[in-house]
Chain A
Amino acid sequence: MTIADATLEKAGAGTVPPTEGGTRFSQENIVPLLNAFGRQELDALDFGVIGFDQETVVRQYNRFESECAGLAPEHVVGQRMFTSVAPCMNNFMVAQRFEDALVNGTELDAVIDYVLTLRMRPVKVRLRLLARPDSELRYVLVDRSG
């Protein structure tokens, strides 16, 4: 664990233990990192990552999320985020915020408490909603450790 990580852990929401690579759910300025990561690095993360493009088509779906949801990435990548992958988020709490950020060209970085229905069971999670005007991909990060 680096000193930077420890500082961040105290400053952030804090429940995620740092993993080997050090990238954590609440890490600051995480979008460029996610953009740079390859499949292997995304799969090593201990939180879920769903990356989708400007047309809401899912481009990234990491192992953590895949295992939680019980769906292989090949069934998800290429599908529409809010209609075919995460319909549970298709409301003003999640989808609308991405839509607003895209229309207004503003940055979105918000953590909300949410319930996902992974394998048909209600699972309390924290979602981090990420969008930046300079990033082609937008992300929903899913933290189950809470």
Chain B
Amino acid sequence: MATLEEEHQALLQFLYLAPVGLAQLKMDGEIVMINPLSAQLLMPLSRDGNLNNLFTALETIAPELRHLCASFKEPYGMICDAARLQVNAGIPGKSDPQILSLTLLKLDAARLMAVISDVSLQVKRERQLQQHEAWLNAILQGMTDYALVPLNSDGGIEQWNESMERVTGLDEAAVVGRSYSIFFPEGAATKEGLADRLHEADQNGWSLQEGYCRRAGGTRFWASTLITPLRIRGGDAAFAGALHVDLPEDHSYCLVIRDIDEKREASESRRKALLCDHLTGVANRRAFFDAAELELSRMKRSPRPLSLVLFDADSFKSINDRYGHPVGDAVLRHFALMLQETFRQVDIVARIGGEEFAVLLPSTSMPEAFAAAERLRAAVEASWVDIDGVRIAYTVSGGIVSADANVSGLDELIKRADAALYEAKEAGRNRIRTWHPGQSRRLKMVTP
């Protein structure tokens, strides 16, 4: 057990080494007790080389202290709390201004406690931060065709700024705390799809897409949206120091929305040439397989429903034979238009064969996919193609599959949908069938 003498020494050393200045004063500022850090900070300020009185020692940088304490009438309490005293202005480029922080606590009618610390570094950082903020504000004020949106790890919008209102018309109340899905038209983004983009931004350093965004009134505009992860710099060891490594990594993002409505046609025609079927305007095989592979990989990373519908125009060969190929083409264009009108923007509609279309429905379960496919089938049945006054009616059949953990890949998914489609055809056409185990395959193979 430690002796009283040893404990006394330990206590002394504790006070000697405290990394903050501590002093006990009489009411007139006379120093009764003081620790070394106080002396380190105060001695360079003391004009007479003494440390008998704190008010005298601080006379040059805080002449009001004596008066402040004398006029404090409460029997006890905080006289000043972390008041900042500027020691010098620093030399620009050479040394930073030195700032002391002073707290004065009145204990009773006879005693004051003072806490003194050097906060120069902290003040410097605060100023830097203010400067950065001012810079950012200046940039945000001056931007006209960009909206800058800070997002948290879940894609929630953390702050509002004027650039958002300028580009989207959405005001602060409409934005803060909401998911960044509010910038997209309904049906253009799923919850999982939004999370995917954040994940892909983490993986690749960015996520860039072109597509429709939504304005406050509900109108759409063509925009490019760029998401970049923001990483808190780990280099500030002196400040954050060892604390930083223990903190969970703070994922946040910056979303930049750029209105490129006037460039839509150019960019769309470029995109179409590459990725669209020239006859119908929907996605071509290549675009479909790319998109489907991406969706499957997303699903494997974070499981969510994914459905695929294969549609086939019934008895299409006889339409061609009877009316000729131009009419057949018109029917296919009509079919494609019906598909685009029925399904969401986020769904991928593609022509993958002569009269065969595929629709990939992200984040969609089998019953939901079935309902949508059935809506399409009924809409086609109820409509017709008008060619030179001749009404041509046709029907379609569909086969649906939902991806599950047992699906090895895109090939198998398509085979299953194809088997369901075959069953729909066998059962008399103009109907939708869902895949179930035991369904037999028909002959045609669909592979990229």
User: Which residues of chain A have a CB within 8 Å of any CB of chain B?
Assistant: 69-72, 75, 84-93, 113-117, 119-122, 124
Q: Is A75's CB under 8 angstroms from B13's CB?
A: yes
Q: Which residue of B lies closest to A124 (CB)?
A: B50
Q: Is A88's CB under 8 angstroms from B8's CB?
A: no
Q: List 5 A-B contacts (CB under 8 A).
A: A87-B16, A87-B40, A119-B12, A120-B34, A124-B50
**Which residues does chain A contribute within 8 Å of B50, judged by CB atoms?**
115, 122, 124
**Which residues does chain B contribute within 8 Å of A70, judged by CB atoms?**
8-9, 12
**Which residues does chain A contribute within 8 Å of B46, judged by CB atoms?**
115
Do A113 and B51 form a contact, CB below 8 Å, given A93-B43, A120-B15, A120-B33? no
**Which residues does chain B contribute within 8 Å of A87, judged by CB atoms?**
16-17, 19, 36-37, 40
Q: Is A91's CB under 8 angstroms from B9's CB?
A: no
Besides A69-B12, A117-B36, 20 more A-B contacts (Cβ < 8 Å) are A70-B9, A72-B9, A75-B9, A85-B16, A87-B16, A87-B40, A88-B43, A89-B40, A90-B40, A92-B44, A93-B43, A113-B49, A114-B43, A115-B51, A116-B36, A116-B39, A120-B33, A120-B34, A121-B32, A122-B52
**Which residues does chain B contribute within 8 Å of A86, judged by CB atoms?**
36
Q: Identify which of B15, B17, B31 contacts A122 (C-beta below 8 A).
A: B31
**Which residues does chain B contribute within 8 Å of A72, judged by CB atoms?**
9
Do A93 and B44 form a contact, CB below 8 Å, given A70-B8, A70-B12, A87-B16? yes
- Chain B 10-26 against A: per-residue CB contact (8 Å), 1 yes, 0 no? 00110111010000000
Q: How far is the CA of A120 from the CA of B12 in the complex (A)?
A: 8
Q: How far is the CA of A124 from the CA of B15 in the complex (A)?
A: 19
B35 within 8 A of A: yes
Q: How far is the CA of A71 from the CA of B15 in the complex (A)?
A: 12
**Which residues does chain A contribute within 8 Å of B9, judged by CB atoms?**
70-72, 75
Q: Is A117's CB under 8 angstroms from B38's CB?
A: yes
Q: How far is the CA of A119 from the CA of B34 in the complex (A)?
A: 9
The smallest C-beta distance from A58 to any residue of chain B, in angstroms, reads 13
Q: Is A115's CB under 8 angstroms from B37's CB?
A: no
Do A114 and B44 form a contact, CB below 8 Å, given A87-B16, A120-B34, A122-B34? no
- The winner among B15, B35, B38, B51 for most chain A CB atoms within 10 A is B51
Q: Which 7 A-B pairs have the closest CB atoms?
A: A88-B36, A88-B39, A115-B51, A120-B33, A122-B51, A113-B49, A87-B36
Q: Is A91's CB under 8 angstroms from B43's CB?
A: yes
Q: How far is the CA of A89 from the CA of B38 in the complex (A)?
A: 10
**Which residues does chain B contribute within 8 Å of A85, judged by CB atoms?**
16
Do A121 and B49 form a contact, CB below 8 Å, given A91-B44, A93-B44, A114-B43? no
